Homo-oligomer: A and B are copies of this chain.
């Protein structure tokens, strides 16, 4: 609890500058390792500080550990070693009831979408608001706005099985935005989108970031990463091999 802010100035060492290093880091990983039960070492020696309001690209080849890192942040998996802090609280030590509350403050786009199979597009998006206890009259307009942003107004009543790959992905994005979370964590949110739609989504994330929302985005989209020159954290075989401001996608993975 106290650890995270304290260690923030020197914590990440030379490799992790952070755009606003003095600010309280919203996300902090200290010396994190993750070994899956089958023995696979997905993360090793990961130190990472993400200050509030940052925009971070997480890159790395397939199997580097990007999704694993994201799973640790939302406590979908527990680290084998080290500590994970979200907003100053140790994610591992949260009490049962606190975990859902923490997750509600994050908007997540899962790599495999994780949409509820028996709910329509609109219901899936609404769900993220409903869990926060929002009133029905607040939910409806917010959902419509989110669907309009990702261009799914026409598909609002289709079930996930009736959607194209890109539409599934956009539904997942809409769900991550709808409750206006403090942080948006997006795992490969444009993999199934055409370049034009991809750019629109990225622009959207940039605008949201400008309004103060922290964004962490795992991606393989070299063009976008290189063009935007934001902070880039590169993983390779579970290690952070690069963490630079204004980075390019760099090396062909």
Contact = CB atoms under 8 A, between A and B. Distances in A.
Contact of A194 (B194, B196, B220): B220
Contacts of A243: none
B166 A195 contact: no
Contacts of A59: 194
A112 B166 CA distance: 11
A153 interface: no
Given A112-B165, A165-B112, A188 B199 contact: no
A209 interface: no
Copies in the complex: 2
Counting chain A residues whose Cβ lies within 8 A of the other chain, the interface size class is: 35 or more
Interface in A33-68: 36, 38, 40, 59-63, 66-68
Nearest to A163: B63
A144 interface: no
Given A164-B67, A165-B111, A252-B199, A194 B38 contact: no
Interface string A220-241: 1011000000000000000000
Contact of A164 (B62, B166, B169): B62
B196 A61 contact: yes
Interface of A: 36, 38, 40, 59-63, 66-68, 111-112, 155, 157-158, 162, 164-170, 187-188, 191-199, 220, 222-223, 249, 251-253
